[in-house]
Amino acid sequence: RQELLKWNGWGYNDSKFIFNKKGQAEFTGKRYRLGGMVLPTFKEWIEKTFGASLEHKTTSRASINVNDVPPSIVNEEFLQDLRATKISYSQDAEDRVFRAHGHCLHEIFVLREGMFKRIPDIVVWPVCHEDVVKIVELACKHNLCIIPFGGGTSVSSALECPEEEKRTIVSLDTSQMNRILWIDEKNLTACVEAGIVGQDLEKQLAESGFCTGHEPDSMEFSSLGGWVATRASGMKKNIYGNIEDLVIHIKMVTPRGIVEKNCQVPRMSTGPDIHHFIMGSEGTLGVVTEVTIKIRPVPEYQKYGSVVFPNFERGVACLREVAKQRCAPASIRLVDNAQFQFGHALKPQVASIFTSFLDGLKKFYITKFKGFDPNILCVATLLFEGDREKVLQHEKQVYDIATKFGGLAAGEDNGQRGYMLTFVIAYLRDLGLDYYVIGESFETSVPWDRVLDLCRNVKERIVRECKEKGVQFAPLSTCRVTQTYDAGACVYFYFAFNYRGISDPIHVYEQIERAAREEILANGGSLSHHHGVGKLRKRWMKESISDVGLGMLRSVKEYVDPNNIFGNKNLL
């Protein structure tokens, strides 16, 4: 699996954006719908948005320089004990570097141009719950530090090894614990090992006609255990729920022993739910090994859709109304104008004159006939799921609401492309990095009445901070509302800028991101909706949950892991 994936960027080796010989952008590989297609307007968009030029290029190192990698320091007694367990392990430099990071910008930057100061000393691959128990026992015996590793898609610096950690760091890779242990069709649950990756889980369940419906944007790479450890959220949570709604039972191995419940029930009143100590613990308490998760029959029918709104304000008002009437489809997202334009730039070359003509006609209808300003309008993408009849009924209800807010139906195709883009967009950063453009996404949740203010202020703050920090071209600062709830919404920001002329881009980038986070908090947004805290956002934990709240979490940690075996230093 490690072979399939990029060592210094996002996703599969064979999938990436390139500029072909004609200077046109192209997406390689066959894994995505966009694969092999030429994107004729994309180059212009990059140049216009970032002031970037194809002539100014930076290149990453071709491979890891093994000599730079910190040596593996593991004491022999432990190795002997480990060998006795027959659990496979590796001290190979590439294996260790691969597990020393997540996908924050600074981490990727280090991979491309430098080296981490501290990385795991050894990687272990348990294949089952019992293996994990053995490893944790050994770690306690030899006083080692364990950092659990699932899909490696963290964007909160959660996987970074604390530099000051003197003990041997063991990276516990759960990827070999990837079996579905059983499926219970009567109760619609499945017990699954925590290392399974999202898309494998769905694929294997589908063979029996089921799905979990949990689809975070990273589902191709992220693991079930990782979802539990970070309180993940899925795109289709409106039907299936977020991870906390899906989980029925969790088994976790801690230095104190195994924690689990004695039954698999939909709800119980037995004091505070211990699952909630585990979900979001970010690898600070133990390793999640097995999870019983709710499953559903694979839906009979899926339909995409999209709506164009004259402006972002109207779009948000529409989403709010949809949430009020509790009729949100499986997914409903609203992208702002900048992101709409971006999506537009990723439109592949059209196959026939006819489609091109049709596109032109649509554009004419929306901008000229309906008077939408192409520089203000915004788009909502929709995904409906269920049995055919209900989907069509549901669809009508949502489009009726949209019409009340000035929305115009804009077709299935635009909707589908919107969702495909969320998977592909992650690849873009690697292209940007080649041309002096750095960027990242971050998210928050916010009450409905503050959505507009928060979006405007955070975007503006980013623009102002860039200006003050000497960024020469106005940054891309854009957002989308990705989830709706009864009392608020989840907002996702993308932010990128051209760093030519700046000597320490990562530092500047981090200052701006920090300012943006402060603006979010001032505007009544949360520290995180689903990315988690990790080490990146630790400094705001106290103001987020109060002194006493932090103390409560600390005392749990102190009881469960008094010697800080799970010493990744996340969260607290």
Partner 1 sequence: SVAKQTTEWLETVSHSLFVCSQQKELTSKKRDEFEDILEERRLSSDLRYAMKCYTPVIYKGLSPCKPNAIKSAVLQSEQVQYVIKQLAKEMGESPDIIQEEATEILDEMGHSMQLGAVRFFAFTLSKIFKRLFQRVCVNEEGMQRLQHAIQEHPVVLLPSHRSYVDFLMLSYLLYTYDLALPVIAAGIGKADFLGMKIVGELLRRAGAFFMRRSFGGNRLYWAVFAEYVKTMLRSGYAPIEFFLEGTRSRTAKTLTPKFGLLSIVMEPFFKCEVFDTYLVPISISYERILEESLYAYELLGVPKPKESTSGLLKARRILSDNFGTIHIYVGQPVSLRTLASGRINRCPYNLVPRHLPQKPSEDIQEFVSDVAYKMELLQIENMVLSPWVLAAAVLLQNLPAMDFELLIEKTLWLKGLTQTCGGFIEWPDNLCAKKAVVSGLTLHSNIARLVDGHVVLNDKGVEDGAVGEIVFKRALAILMCATYRNQLLNVFVRPSLVAVALQMTRSFRKEEVYSCFSFLRDVFSDEFIFFPGISLKDFEEGCFLLTKCDAIQTSQQEIYPTDKGSVIVSFLSAMFRPFVEGYQLIFRYLLKETKEAFTEKQFIPGVRNFVFQLLEKGSTQCYEALSSDMQKNALAALVQLGAVKKKKMSNGFTYSVNQEAVNKILDMFDARIPVQKPVAARL
Q: Closest distance between partner 1 and the C-beta of residue 478, in Å?
A: 16
Please check if 181 is assigned to a binding site: no
Give phi and psi for 425, each to the nearest 5.
-60, -30
Distances from the Cα of 85 to the Cα of 137, 172, 289, 305, angstroms: 11, 15, 18, 53
Sign of the dihedral through C-alpha 457, 460, 465, 466: positive
Q: What DSSP string describes 31-70?
A: SSTTTT-EETTHHHHHHHHH---TTS-----SS--GGGSP
Q: Closest distance between partner 1 and the C-beta of residue 312, in Å?
A: 11
Please check if 417 is assigned to a binding site: no
- Of 327 and 550, the one with the shorter C-beta distance to partner 1 is 550
Burial class (CB in 10 A: 0-12, 13-18, 19+), 147: buried
**3-class state of residue 29 by DSSP:** coil
Q: What is the DSSP letter of 369?
A: I
Q: Closest distance between partner 1 and the C-beta of residue 356, in Å?
A: 35
Tokens matching residue 7: 């060592």
Specify the residue for token string 């939408």.
372
Tokens matching residue 431: 């292209």
Please check if 51 is assigned to a binding site: no
Tokens matching residue 493: 């920001």
Please check if 154 is assigned to a binding site: yes
Q: Closest distance between partner 1 and the C-beta of residue 410, in Å?
A: 23
Q: Which residues pair with 493 in a beta bridge?
A: 442, 479
Q: Closest distance between partner 1 and the C-beta of residue 413, in Å?
A: 31
Sign of the dihedral through C-alpha 410, 415, 416, 422: positive
Please check if 288 is assigned to a binding site: yes
**3-class state of residue 71 by DSSP:** coil
- Residue 319 has, within 13 A of its CA and on its CB side, a CA count of 36
- Of 19 and 312, the one with the shorter C-beta distance to partner 1 is 312
Q: Closest distance between partner 1 and the C-beta of residue 4, in Å?
A: 45
Please check if 432 is assigned to a binding site: no
Burial class (CB in 10 A: 0-12, 13-18, 19+), 208: middle
Please check if 313 is assigned to a binding site: no
Please check if 126 is assigned to a binding site: no
Indicate which residues carry an active-site annotation. 492
Q: What DSSP string describes 505-526?
A: HHHHHHHHHHHHHHHHHHTT--
Please check if 340 is assigned to a binding site: no
Per the CB < 8 A criterion, the answer to whether 186 and 212 are in contact is no
Q: Closest distance between partner 1 and the C-beta of residue 490, in Å?
A: 17
Per the CB < 8 A criterion, the answer to whether 498 and 470 are in contact is no
C-alpha 540, offset from chain centre: 20
**3-class state of residue 146 by DSSP:** strand
Distances from the Cα of 222 to the Cα of 155, 219, 476, 482, angstroms: 12, 5, 27, 19
- Of 61 and 469, the one with the shorter C-beta distance to partner 1 is 469
- Of 387 and 449, the one with the shorter C-beta distance to partner 1 is 449
The rounded distance, in Å, linking the Cα atoms of 403 and 407 is: 5
Please check if 305 is assigned to a binding site: no
Per the CB < 8 A criterion, the answer to whether 120 and 171 are in contact is yes
The rounded distance, in Å, linking the Cα atoms of 262 and 14 is: 45
Give phi and psi for 506, each to the nearest 5.
-65, -40
Please check if 114 is assigned to a binding site: no
Q: Closest distance between partner 1 and the C-beta of residue 488, in Å?
A: 12
Please check if 52 is assigned to a binding site: no
- Of 414 and 523, the one with the shorter C-beta distance to partner 1 is 523
Best CA proximity match to 530, nearest among 175, 78, 184, 219: 219
**3-class state of residue 380 by DSSP:** strand
- Of 261 and 456, the one with the shorter C-beta distance to partner 1 is 456
- Of 130 and 449, the one with the shorter C-beta distance to partner 1 is 449
- Of 392 and 487, the one with the shorter C-beta distance to partner 1 is 487
- Of 333 and 529, the one with the shorter C-beta distance to partner 1 is 529
Q: Closest distance between partner 1 and the C-beta of residue 464, in Å?
A: 8
Interface residues toward partner 1, by CB under 8 A: 449-450, 453-454, 456-457, 460-461, 521-524, 543
Q: Dihedral through CA 503, CA 509, CA 511, CA 516, nearest 10?
A: 150
Ramachandran assignment for 348, one of left (phi > 0), alpha (psi -120 to 50 degrees), beta (any other): beta
Q: Closest distance between partner 1 and the C-beta of residue 449, in Å?
A: 7
Give phi and psi for 490, each to the nearest 5.
-105, 130
Please check if 233 is assigned to a binding site: yes
The rounded distance, in Å, linking the Cα atoms of 24 and 36 is: 12
- Of 309 and 566, the one with the shorter C-beta distance to partner 1 is 309
Task: Indicate the annotated binding residues for substrate.
Answer: 429
Task: Indicate the annotated binding residues for FAD.
Answer: 148-154, 230-233, 282-288
